[in-house]
Amino acid sequence: MKSILFFLFILSNYTYPVFSQSNLLESVKKNPSEATNICNKFRELNSEGIYSSDQEAIDYVSERNKLTPVNAEIFSIYVIGLYCPDII
């Protein structure tokens, strides 16, 4: 029974489309205007006392780019690192 559950778990991971980290980085590099828009949103959120790592900011990136929350957080880190290091 355990082996069947394990197999289903592994299978479900392969059927769910996931961006690899390198693809996320490439998508940030190829879309500087999108990164600038996200930076501006982060600045707006920072002015309201909301950090880029807060759930509201992650949800914004996740919904805007159709990413999982984990990938949205990774995407945000890449955007901040490449385009707006002044963001908190």
Longest C-alpha distance within the chain, in Å? Answer: 53
What percent of the chain has pLDDT above 90?
65
Instruction: State pTM to two decimals.
Output: 0.73
Structure token pair of residue 40: 């501006």
Helix 32-47 vs helix 69-83: crossing angle, to nearest 10: 100
Q: How far apart are CA 80 and CA 32, in angstroms?
A: 12
Which is nearest to 20 in space by CA: 81, 78, 82, 59?
78
Residue-range domain boundaries for the chain: 19-83
Residue 3 pLDDT class (50, 70, 90 cuts): low
Q: What is the pLDDT of residues 4-28, one digit of tens each?
A: 555 455 555 544 455 467 788 888 8
